[in-house]
Amino acid sequence: MAELHAEVWERCLNVIKDNINYQSFKTWFSPIKPVRLENNVLTIQVPSQFFYEWLEEHYIHLLKKTIKSELGISGRLEYSIVMDTSNNQTPPFTIKVPTSDKKAINNPSISMPIDLNKGNNKEIPNPFVIPGLKKIKVHSQLIDSYSFDNFIEGDCNRLARSAGFAVANNPGKTAFNPLFIYSPVGLGKTHLSHAIGIQVKNNFPDKTVLYVAAEQFINQFIDSVRNNTHNDFVHFYQMIDVLIIDDIQFMAGKEKTQDSFFHIFNHLHQKGKQIVLTSDRPPVELKGIEPRLLSRFKWGLAADLQVPDLDTRISILKKRIYNDGIEMPEEVIEYLACYVTTNIRELEGALISIMAQSSLNKKAITIELAQLMIEKYVKYNSREISIDYIQKIVCDYFNIPVDALNSKTRKREIVQARQLSMFFSKKHTKSSLASIGLHCGNKDHATVLHACKTVLNLIETDKQFKSYVDEIDKKIKV
């Protein structure tokens, strides 16, 4: 009986899983832990206030329907929200809040020691102003083209983009302050951070927004020490309403710079100003950063950007092509999206390379030109074939949409295409059986093995099917 809450929640998850896509389920429901079931009230623990707010906004109807289905008309749901005190002496605590009662929770109050060193009323120098130039306003250093309009949303970045958009519409007043965005290079951290700043400027023209690379911040700090203007440097940054620092990992090992940033961070956070940080790794993996800073990085939300899937890559290319006012055959766009899978920067670089080659040599943009440029542009010894690419080839061959592979339909042609995708993924990629199953309709490894055996049996007994396999195999290896 003690495990009844776990059993009830497991049944709820089975229902929820059938009503949303896998990536959303993994992001928003897998981290949830059932806590207790008392008086027909199921309590679930969520890792942050942001999680609670997102569930309430996007999945409340599904949750209510599922809970009432399992517990009856009187069944209710409550959240236990983990609130990290970011203090080594005090463990995280939870607060309990019933569903659909967002006003029951507020941002936890924070008390921090702050040394403002205020002793005069002189004008504070702007570290972005060249010595000798006077009365120049703070320039936000934002790139206009890096807006939300040009930022393509997909499963790979939905959490980070949603959080960034919320921050931009209510800077300093959401649960995610600081907003910590992390990913490997070329996946859109800088674009998203600029988009946040641009949106804030559009919504709140009077707010002072500043984007600065961590290396620039470090150099300004060094100059302030050299020129004996350190207090002015700190005071300048403490006046910013929305501070965006890119590549915070470059502060690693620089203790004095971190000390200054610590005081700036404390002051801004206490005054309700918004802080946005980006890094090439999550806070827990940052080395050479002081523990007191790392704990503050965890106060808000850490959101990652992942490698975009095929559909998102195609959308990114189409958006770029539209913005540049050019035309490109659909097959070339899909070819690029299938072959360049590492990061967005390389994807856009390949696109620019093809457009330049076409323009300079007055050549039409064709598959042949794309193949030629990809071989020169993409750095690889032996081209890696992705599961996305295999699915695209298989689905094109049978003239069915790729989304059909992830559906629950048992139509013969869909099942066959799914099995072939699994078979070729096992043959041509280094992905595990579990990973292949995940990509092909969220199946387990046993299903993948069964699919491979089925395909091999059909190859030996069905000549028509064998011809399908041979033709698809050739297209994959082109």
Check which CATH number belongs to the domain holding 87 and give it. Answer: 3.30.300.180
Residue 131 has what pLDDT?
Answer: 45
- Contact between 49 and 81 under an 8 Å Cβ cutoff? The reply is yes
Domain boundary among 304, 335, 362: 304
Beta bridge partners of 243: 210, 275
Longest dimension (CA), the chain: 90
Q: Which residues pair with 212 in a beta bridge?
A: 245
Q: Report the residue count for the chain.
A: 478
Are 329 and 278 within one domain? no
Is 45 inside any structural domain?
A: yes
User: Domain end: 102, 136, 163, which one?
Assistant: 102
- Region at 227 (left for phi over 0; alpha for psi -120 to 50; beta for the rest): alpha
What distances in angstroms separate CA 458 from CA 153, 216, 451, 465, one per listed residue? 40, 62, 11, 7
**Residue-level pLDDT at 478:** 65
Same domain, 70 and 155: no
Q: Which residue among 377, 396, 430 closes a domain?
A: 377
Q: What distance in Å separates the CA atoms of residue 374 and residue 378, rounded to the nearest whole number?
A: 6
Sheet of 242-246, strands arranged across: 209-213, 242-246, 274-279, 179-182, 301-304
Is 164 contained in some domain? yes
Are residues 179 and 213 located together in one domain of the fold?
A: yes
Burial environment of residue 244 by CB neighbours within 10 A (0 to 12, 13 to 18, 19 or more): buried
* Pair (299, 326) in one structural domain: no
β-strand partners of 291: none
Per the structure block, which two tokens stand in for 87? 């203090």
For residue 302, the cross-strand partners are: 180
Whether residue 183 is found in the same domain as residue 163: yes
| Parent domain of 324 | 310-377
Q: Does some domain include residue 109?
A: no
CATH number for the domain spanning 355: value is 1.10.8.60
297 and 160 in one domain? yes
Residue 445: CATH number of its domain: 1.10.1750.10
Task: Give the pLDDT confidence score for residue 347 in this predicted structure.
Answer: 81
Reading the block at residue 123, the tokens are 């004008």
Q: Is residue 21 part of a domain?
A: yes
Q: Are 162 and 242 part of one and the same domain? A: yes
DSSP character at residue 304: E
Same-domain status, 292 and 157: yes
CB neighbour class for 210 (10 Å; exposed up to 12, middle 13-18, buried from 19): buried
| pLDDT (0 to 100) of residue 128 | 59
User: Under a CB-based contact definition with an 8 Å cutoff, are residues 156 and 305 in contact?
Assistant: yes
> In this structure, is residue 17 part of a structural domain?
yes
Stated as kind and residue range, the H or E segment containing 221 is: helix 214-226
3-state secondary structure of 210: strand
Residue 139 maps to a domain: no
| Alpha-carbon gap, residue 401 to 8, rounded angstroms | 36
Same domain as 399, residue 295: no
Mean pLDDT by 10 residues, the chain (478 residues): 78 86 79 88 82 79 87 86 50 49 38 36 55 48 87 85 90 88 88 93 90 91 88 86 92 90 90 92 88 87 84 84 80 80 77 78 78 63 67 86 80 88 86 81 85 89 87 82
pTM, rounded to two decimals: 0.56
| Same domain, yes or no: 342 and 251 | no
**pLDDT score, position 309:** 79
Asked whether residue 282 falls in the same domain as residue 192, the answer is: yes
Asked if residue 178 has a cis previous peptide bond (ω within 30° of 0), the answer is: yes
Q: Is residue 412 part of a domain?
A: yes
pLDDT score recorded for residue 273: 92
Position 131 in a domain: no
Q: Which residue has the tokens 């009662």?
A: 101
- Residue 278 sits in a domain whose CATH number is 3.40.50.300
CA distance 476 to 393: 7
Give the count of domains, the chain. 4
Is residue 166 domain-shared with residue 208, that is, in the same domain? yes
Beta-strand pair 93-98/76-83: antiparallel
d(CA 199, CA 165) in angstroms, rounded, equals 8
What are 77's strand-pairing partners?
Answer: 42
- The H or E element that residue 326 is part of is none
Q: Regarding beta strands 274-279 and 242-246, do their DSSP bridges make them parallel or antiparallel, or are they unpaired?
A: parallel
pLDDT value for 104: 39
Helix axes 367-377, 344-360, angle to 10 degrees: 120
Burial of 228 (0-12, 13-18, 19+ CB in 10 A): exposed
Q: Report the C-alpha gap between 461 and 243 in whole angstroms.
A: 66
**Distance in angstroms (rounded) separating the CA atoms of residues 456 and 461:** 9
What is the radius of gyration, based on Cα positions, of the chain?
26
